[in-house]
């Protein structure tokens, strides 16, 4: 698993070091550095792949000009990224720096890349779904060239389901109640969609135009509707479920704002889904503004569905100089907070106090 990342001199971040768990949650105010930490991690993976595989064309993020991405308060002349990978009791590290390149890019230099990191990145996938995900469409592109990729915007999730829906899910350990539900990707996706929102999905491939049509039905009937005729949240969550079930053990799933268009109950249940597959070997990193996602994690700890030692929760805010301040939240065995920085999902209580005249 990826056990640690360090970011130094990047955007609003002077220096931030994070110990990751099998389930990591990033929360905080807007523009405090949550997405920057994710970008740094994805860029490290991207450059590591290019360093070890040479011919890879994987691209998660484009950082742009050095002058735009360095920490202007710090005035640094280089940006440092570090990543540790832990396998058993062995920890391996990679270190890279970014310096000013030509007028349009920051030049990356690999300072150290230990064998354990190289092996990990070569053997496992990082599936990233940005906040700018694809929504409701009449038809989706069929991904002929890279059929097993989901896309950073989830644009090929329905292509993946259409092409591999009848096959067993890639990681058998992720299957829920396989004897009752079945092992196929279609069955597993529909089980979780039913649990989350009460819907099923089916896909039809139109080979003449390389398109996939997604149709949805309420689980109480057998009539299927086009995506535009069901709630937007159904489309958004379906792509996330497909993406998660496309992974294998020891892969990393990174999702920004999984709560988009979701009812609070579905948000909490989606955490249960992610916890289930995380317990079976998928490393999960979430960035969220939702107290329902956060409390869903705490509830899973309290119900002993998730070990607190497997969880890392961070809260980010900005100081008076607009620099990132990073707090690690300590949760006990009951899912209760042992330290609570002001601003960590306090707004409900603040609003309630005003309504009650307190």
The residues with which 126 forms a beta bridge, in sequence order, are: 252
Compute the distance between CA of residue 266 and CA of residue 270 in angstroms, rounded to an integer.
6
Give the list of residues 6+ apart from residue 270 with CB closer than 8 angstroms, or none. 196, 237, 240, 258, 262, 293, 296
State which fold the 1-125+251-358 domain adopts.
Rossmann fold (3.40.50)
In what helix (H) or strand (E) does residue 107 lie, and over which residues does it extend? strand 106-113
Distance CA 288, CA 241 (A): 17
Q: What's the pLDDT score for residue 54?
A: 55
Q: Tell me the domain boundaries of the chain.
A: 1-125+251-358, 132-247
Three-state SS at 256? strand
8 A C-beta contact, residue 21 and residue 311? yes
**pLDDT for res 105:** 73
Residue 152: per-residue pLDDT:
96
pLDDT in tens, the chain (358 residues): 999 999 999 999 999 999 999 999 999 999 999 999 999 999 999 999 887 765 555 589 888 889 999 999 999 999 999 999 999 999 999 999 999 876 667 888 999 999 999 999 999 999 999 999 998 999 999 999 999 999 999 999 999 999 999 999 999 999 999 999 999 999 999 999 999 999 999 999 999 999 999 999 997 888 898 888 888 999 999 999 999 999 999 999 999 999 999 999 999 999 999 999 999 999 999 999 999 999 999 999 999 999 999 999 999 999 999 999 999 999 999 999 999 998 898 887 778 678 887 6
pTM: 0.95
Q: What is the pLDDT of residue 358?
A: 63
Alpha carbon distance 240, 254 (integer Å):
10
Identify the pLDDT of residue 64.
Answer: 85
Identify the H or E element spanning 85. strand 79-87
Closest Cα to residue 317, out of 344, 290, 338?
A: 344
Q: Is 293 helix (H, G, I), strand (E, B) or coil?
A: helix
């Amino acid at each position: 698993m990826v056990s640690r990342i360090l970011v130094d001199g990047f955007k609003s971040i002077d220096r931030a070091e994070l110990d990751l768990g099998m389930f990591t949650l990033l929360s905080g105010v807007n523009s405090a550095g949550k997405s920057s930490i994710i970008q740094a991690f994805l860029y490290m993976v991207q450059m590591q792949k290019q360093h070890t595989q040479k011919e890879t064309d994987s691209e998660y993020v484009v950082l742009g000009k050095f002058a735009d991405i360095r920490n202007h308060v710090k005035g640094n002349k280089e940006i440092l990224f570090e990543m540790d990978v832990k396998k058993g009791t062995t920890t391996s590290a990679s270190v890279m720096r970014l310096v000013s390149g030509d007028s349009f890019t920051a030049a990356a230099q690999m300072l150290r890349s230990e064998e354990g990191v190289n092996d990990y990145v070569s053997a496992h996938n990082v599936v990233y779904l940005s906040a700018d995900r694809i929504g409701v469409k009449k038809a989706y592109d069929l991904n002929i060239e890279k059929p097993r990729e989901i896309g950073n915007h989830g644009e090929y999730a329905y292509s993946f389901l259409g092409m591999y829906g009848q096959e067993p899910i890639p990681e058998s350990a992720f299957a829920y109640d396989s004897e009752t539900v079945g092992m196929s990707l279609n069955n597993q996706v529909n089980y979780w969609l039913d649990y989350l929102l009460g819907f099923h999905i089916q896909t039809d491939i139109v080979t003449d135009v390389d398109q996939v049509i997604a149709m949805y039905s309420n689980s109480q009937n057998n009539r299927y509707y086009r995506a535009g005729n069901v709630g937007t949240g159904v489309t958004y969550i379906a792509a996330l479920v497909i993406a998660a079930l496309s992974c294998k053990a020891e892969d990393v799933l990174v999702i920004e704002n999984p709560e988009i268009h979701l009812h609070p109950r579905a948000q909490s249940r989606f955490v249960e889904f992610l916890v289930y597959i995380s317990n079976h070997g998928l490393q999960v990193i979430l960035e969220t503004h939702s107290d329902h996602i956060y409390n869903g994690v705490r509830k899973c700890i309290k119900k002993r569905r998730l070990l607190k030692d497997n969880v890392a929760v961070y809260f980010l805010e900005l100081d008076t100089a607009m620099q990132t301040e990073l707090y690690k939240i300590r949760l006990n065995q009951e899912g209760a907070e042992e330290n609570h920085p002001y601003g960590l999902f306090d707004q409900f209580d603040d609003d309630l106090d005003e309504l009650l005249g307190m």
